[in-house]
Amino acid sequence: MITKIQEEFKKRYGDGALLYASPGRVNLIGEHTDYNLGFVLPGAIDKSIYLAIKPNDGTLSRLYSVDYDATVNVDMNGEQPQEQWASYIYGVVQEMKKRGATVPAFDCVFGGDVPLGAGLSSSAALECVTGFAINEVYNLGLNRKDLAIIGQMTEHNYIGVKCGIMDQFASLFGEKGKVIRLDCRSMEYVLEPFNPVGYKVVLIDSMVKHTLASSEYNVRRAQCEVGVSIIGKHAEGIESLRDVSMDMLNTYRAEMDEMVYRRCRYVIEENQRLIDGCQALKDGDYALFGSKMFGSHDGLSKDYEVSCKELDFIATIGRKTDGVLGARMMGGGFGGCVINVVNDATYDSYIDEVKSRYTTEFQVTPRIIDVVIGDGARRLE
């Protein structure tokens, strides 16, 4: 893919491009907690979006997507382009301009090996590689945290998804062999070594594209905000579900819709599962960590209702298989992957069983993706 991008750039726009990469992510536990200002535990993966870029002295930026085999020429001082893929790049430039940056026109070619629509945050990877590259090429002096927020705001303002900060943060701050324990309220983070000896972390992609994700995502976010506002009427300083305990939620349960109650319960419990899970990882207790993953899946499926029958099917096989320590849907939901922690000895038979049963049930073969934790955004030589 990298060679292809370089060749395409040369062919279309000539020599002298700089090349950048920014990866997709996995998340071990802590789902739908980021925009509720809780904790997440993502890591960058070894699959990225790659982007070649060079200033062009013109007024139009010329963008070419290798994956879509399509070109769009954009006036970054004009209207948002119709193509969503071009809107990510346009949005990043607009967000940079809002922060006082001058971004002259450029040529760019991009593509990647992050599977699209699989819940591995290929869109965050595109936002982050764009932001990281433009920041370097034009010496804008933005730091990685700024770039993460620029990516997040691109989703909010140009794509229409009111996402949290997890995906962009992981894409920019990831490090090989480490997961990031991020507190989404303070934005403080710790990089923890993640090398489970004797276990494999594997993704099973349901191949269901998460099309419902953006509209339902915003609905979940709004439901959590309703819960916060109800509790905030009774207690001081309640700004997010991070400030709400299970006791408080139960005290005011009668005032809220049952659905809002369940959404809030899931988030509060998920934060606790993450805290307990991190301790389990520190203690090397992968069985306990895995049980938190199953708990996370149950909450996402029953209380938060962002799973689907295909993801539930895979997680259920995981739960019934000795040697599978944990399995849960990952990311926004409504499709995409199940992330599994599996004993080395069980790995082959588990994968075979899931593949064969899933194919029989849904007439689709799931894709197996071994997780390798890689580096965050960077320039490639």
**Residue among 34, 107, 146, 167 flagged as catalytic:** 167
Where in 118-137 is the site for ligand GLA (CB under 6 A)?
A: 121
Stretch that binds ligand GLA, among 15-23, 164-172, 229-237, 371-379 (CB under 6 A): 164-172
| Segment contacting ligand GLA by CB under 6 A, of 108-116, 129-137, 162-170, 237-245 | 162-170
* Paired residues of 74 in beta bridges: 61
Given candidates 23, 115, 295, 331, which one binds ligand GLA under the rule CB under 6 A?
A: 331
Identify which of residues 164 and 318 has a Cβ nearer to ligand GLA in the complex: 164
CA–CA separation, 29 and 5 (whole Å)? 34
On whether the CB atoms of residues 192 and 179 are closer than 8 A, the answer is yes
Q: Which stretch binds ligand GLA (CB under 6 A): 26-34, 53-61, 63-71, 82-90?
A: 26-34
Q: Containing H/E element for 17?
A: none
Instruction: Give me the half-sphere count of Cα atoms (radius 13 Å) on the Cβ side of residue 241.
Output: 32
Query: Which one of the spans 161-169, 204-212, 230-238, 360-368 is the region binding ligand GLA (CB under 6 A)?
Result: 161-169
Whether 167 is catalytic is yes
Instruction: Tell me the C-alpha distance between 357 and 273, whole Å.
Output: 30
CA 324 from centre of chain: 24
Contact (Cβ atoms closer than 8 angstroms) between residue 337 and residue 343:
no
Instruction: Select the residue interacting with ligand GLA from 9, 13, 20, 35 (CB under 6 A).
Output: 35
State the nearest-atom distance from the C-beta of 106 to ligand GLA, in Å: 26
Minimum CB separation of residue 93 from ligand GLA in Å reads 20
Q: Which CB sits closer to ligand GLA, 94 or 152? A: 152
Contacts of 228 (CB under 8 A, 6+ apart): 238, 239, 240, 241, 243, 244, 264
- For CA atoms 376, 189, 95, 55, the dihedral sign is negative
Residue 186 burial (C-beta neighbours within 10 Å; 0-12, 13-18, 19+): exposed
Query: Does residue 332 interact with ligand GLA by CB under 6 A?
Result: yes
Q: How far is the CB of 125 from ligand GLA (least distance, A)?
A: 12
* Pure H helices in the chain: 2-13, 84-98, 122-137, 144-154, 166-173, 213-232, 246-251, 258-282, 286-298, 309-320, 344-362
Neighbour count for residue 170 (Cβ, 10 Å): 31
For the bound state, the minimum distance from the C-beta of residue 193 to ligand GLA, rounded and expressed in Å, comes to 23
Part in contact with ligand GLA (CB under 6 A); list of ranges 27-35, 59-67, 240-248, 364-372: 27-35
Q: How far is the CB of 56 from ligand GLA (least distance, A)?
A: 31
Give least dist CB 16 to ligand GLA, A: 34
Distance between CA atoms of residues 202 and 42, nearest Å? 14
| For ligand GLA, the closer CB: 66 or 273 | 273
Query: For ligand GLA, which is the closer residue by CB, 103 or 300?
Result: 300
Cα–Cα distance, 346 to 325 (Å, whole number): 10
Nearer to ligand GLA, 48 or 121 (CB): 121
Subset of 166-195 contacting ligand GLA (CB under 6 A): 166-167
> Nearer Cβ to ligand GLA, position 9 or 164?
164
Tell me the CA distances in angstroms from 289 to 275, 294, 317, one per residue in order: 10, 9, 18
Shortest Å, Cβ 36 to ligand GLA: 9
The rounded distance, in Å, linking the Cα atoms of 197 and 244 is 37
Mark 223-262 with x for binding to ligand GLA (rule: CB under 6 A) and - for no binding. Answer: ----------------------------------------
- Per-residue x/- mask for ligand GLA, residues 277 to 316, rule CB under 6 A? ----------------------------------------
What residues pair up with 106 in beta bridges, in sequence order?
A: 55
* Least distance (Å) between residue 133 CB and ligand GLA: 21
Helix, strand, coil % in the chain, rounded to nearest 5: 45, 20, 30
Interacting residues with ligand GLA (CB under 6 A): 31-32, 34-35, 121, 163-164, 166-167, 331-332
> Any idea which residues carry the catalytic annotation?
167
